[in-house]
Amino acid sequence: MDALVLSARRKGSPVVVGLDPDPRHLPPEMHGLPEAEAAREFCLGVLEATAPEAAAVKLQSAYFERLGAPGAVLYAELLRAAADLDLPTIADVKRGDIGPVAAAYAEAHLSVYGATSVTVNPYMGADAVVPFLDEARRVGAGGGAFVLVATSNPSAAELQNSSEPPLYEAAARLVAGLGRPGETGYPDAGAVVGATRPEVGWGVRELLPDALFLAPGYGAQRGDAANVRALLDARGAGVLVNSSRGILRAFEGTETGYKDAARAATRRMRADLEAAGVRA
């Protein structure tokens, strides 16, 4: 995860900007454009506006898949545009499948499309995770895989906390056993740990004291900077904090253009995290 950590330090920002172009939440100037074109304008605009404030960009695959083949073209273009802005990328694909299929997914997102890192689902065990780490090591771009451990959604606990020991502990142990540390000391296997359940996050940090966390749920999902603190490592760092809706929809209900609103929201989030003692 060196590419992500070094970018966060260089920018002095742990903020990850999530690009989830939801067609129901586009700025008025894009109404009437063909969907893929509207998504393209919007994402490129947000990317450019927020790049100076962000450590990385996360693309939510679903919103590109629903655009069909033009969505695949756009997904590739945005990954290239982020790279041109010197921003590492996270392909938020949450794939999880048997070994050979995981290898095909890893090749797709880390090589063909060229994202720096990916998100991965561990339901199937190590088989489903290792091919992503292998591919990231082969590519050598300082990326890795964030494995879902404790997610931020309302029904997360249904499976993740339904047994003894809880599933999130088994997932955390899986992550601990698979990563290899890079030059920054962070292993290339990271964890997705929501900022919405600090008591769970604290437990996951105990099991993964050295790992880089990707924390979704800030803003729209009611995670806040105080909750992110529960996820920090011993150095007061080790967490990249994603916001998607809080940045993309910042223009709604205001007179501000979407780019200015997105930039201002990203700045506020960065300041808020800094004030809470979250280091990049």
What sign does the dihedral 21-22-23-24 (CA atoms) show? negative
Residue with token string 């010197």:
86
Q: Pick from 124, 4, 113, 125: which is nearest to 55 by CA?
A: 4
Q: Which CB contacts under 8 angstroms, 24+ apart, belong to 36-40? A: 36/67, 36/70, 36/71, 36/73, 36/74, 39/63, 39/64, 39/67, 39/71, 39/74, 40/74, 40/77
Question: What tokens appear for 166 in the block?
Answer: 């809880």
Specify the residue, 67 or 237, whose C-beta has the smaller distance to its own copies: 67
Specify the residue, 53 or 92, whose C-beta has the smaller distance to its own copies: 92
6 binding its own copies? (CB under 8 A): no
159 binding its own copies? (CB under 8 A): yes
Which listed residue (33, 44, 83, 104) binds its own copies by CB under 8 A?
104
Alpha-carbon Rg of the chain, whole angstroms?
Answer: 18
Least distance from its own copies to the Cβ atom of residue 195, Å: 13
Answer whether 150's CB lies under 8 Å from 206's CB. Answer: no
User: Looking at 39-47, 68-76, 233-241, 265-273, which segment touches its own copies (CB under 8 A)?
Assistant: 68-76
Question: What tokens appear for 99 in the block?
Answer: 């070994």
Burial class (CB in 10 A: 0-12, 13-18, 19+), 25: middle
Least distance from its own copies to the Cβ atom of residue 251, Å: 18
Which listed residue (96, 144, 187, 238) binds its own copies by CB under 8 A?
96
Answer whether 182's CB lies under 8 Å from 188's CB. Answer: yes
Which listed residue (136, 156, 175, 278) binds its own copies by CB under 8 A?
156
Question: Which residues 112-141 are close enough to bind its own copies by CB under 8 A?
Answer: 112-113, 121-128
Least distance from its own copies to the Cβ atom of residue 162, Å: 4
Site string for its own copies, 211-240 (x = CB under 8 A): ----------x-------------------
Residue with token string 């008591």:
199
User: Active site includes 259?
Assistant: no
User: Looking at 38-46, 65-73, 206-214, 255-263, which segment touches its own copies (CB under 8 A)?
Assistant: 65-73
Q: Pick from 110, 113, 121, 128: which is nearest to 150 by CA?
A: 121
Which listed residue (7, 13, 50, 60) binds its own copies by CB under 8 A?
60
Looking at the annotation, which residues are catalytic? 94
Residues in contact with its own copies by CB under 8 A are 20, 22, 60, 62-63, 65-69, 71-73, 76, 94-102, 104-105, 107-109, 112-113, 121-128, 148, 151-160, 162-167, 170-171, 174, 221
